[in-house]
Amino acid sequence: MLVLEWESSPVNDVYADAVVTVILKTESGDCPGNTDTPIQVNKKHVRECLQETLSDMYGSTMVSLSEDQQQLFVTIDDKKASIDLESFEVKCDDEEIHSTIDITVKHLSACIQPLRLTPAAT
């Protein structure tokens, strides 16, 4: 039996969902193993989570989506950062803001994207 507890927030809920999913898939034996089939990533879900996470971090008024919905903009201390929602590349003139947002994007993507599981060697 496993008991999982966490402080509820959008970001923490994403982590908890990922952990529960891995545990349930492992327990059920429903692991894909080593396959040549590419893992499909739901980019729309990643985009939504990223927008919600950045809104939680910097305030919803500081985060906006471009008209074509291909870029996400974050304004911090009158400095603007943009995130390409296809490649998840971060652009910002301020190095500290660039680094902070880039790390957030990479960590969130790593948490949401499916894990490649390989069978254990026996």
What's phi and psi for 48, nearest 5 deg?
-60, -45
The answer to the question of residue 53 being in a domain is yes
- Asked if residue 99 belongs to a domain, the reply is yes
Instruction: Show Cβ contacts of residue 13 under 8 Å, excluding neighbours closer than 6 positions.
Output: 6
Question: For 97-110, how does the pLDDT look when each residue is reduced to its tens digit (9 = 90+)?
Answer: 999 999 998 888 87
Structural domain containing residue 41: 10-112
Q: Report if residue 74 sits inside a domain.
A: yes
Q: Is 64 within the bounds of a domain?
A: yes
Give the tens place of pLDDT for each residue, 26-79.
776 655 554 555 566 677 888 888 899 999 999 989 999 889 888 999 999 999
Q: What 3-state class would DSSP assign to 55?
A: helix
* In a domain? residue 105: yes
Is there a domain that residue 118 lies in? no
Domain count of the chain?
A: 1
